[in-house]
Amino acid sequence: MSAAFFSSFFKQLAGAALCSALLAGCGHALPQVPGFDAATWRADPYACKNQRRAAVPALTKAKEQLYEARADDVNALLGPPDEEELRAGTEKVYYYYLEPGSQCDAGHARSGAACISLRFGPLGTVTEVLTDPLSSK
């Protein structure tokens, strides 16, 4: 093999390593959210125990902190999503229910109950946060 081949190969390898390092650095870790009880939130999947409702004001107040957060950090804070929707390319949306609804029935069918949705862009960071209003109970 020629020296030119090795030179070209190592340039491509260095470029790929730099690109990987830059992409890995995208986004940010989530700070603690004041007044948000993450353990109680995660212990109430699909919001069927109606314990997430109390955490909604603190989470809504801090929703700006969710922007640019990485999916792993969102999972660490909120737990796995109740529902996940894959979009075109590498985009995805996480849904977390905020109150009980038909999602609590067997099979966890999609529900019209209030939820928070987090949209992740192609870099794997949150690009949009939407919160449905809670029903008055």
Using the predicted structure, report yes or no on whether residue 84 has a pLDDT greater than 90.
Answer: yes
Tens digit of each residue's pLDDT (9 = 90 or more) over 46-69: 999 999 999 999 999 988 999 999
Helix (H, G, I), strand (E, B) or coil at 46: helix
pLDDT value of residue 24: 43
Q: What is the rounded CA–CA span in Å between residue 11 and residue 76? A: 37
Using the predicted structure, report yes or no on whether residue 30 has a pLDDT greater than 50.
Answer: yes
Measured on CA atoms in the order 109, 110, 115, 118, is the torsion positive or negative? Answer: positive
> What Cα–Cα distance (Å) separates residue 123 from each residue in 26, 45, 70, 109, 119?
7, 27, 9, 29, 11
pLDDT value of residue 25: 45
* Mean pLDDT of the region 71-76: 93
DSSP letter (8 states) at residue 14: H
pLDDT value of residue 12: 57
CA 71 centroid distance within chain = 4
DSSP letter (8 states) at residue 41: H
Report the range of poorest mean pLDDT among 13-17, 56-60, 73-77, 106-110: 13-17
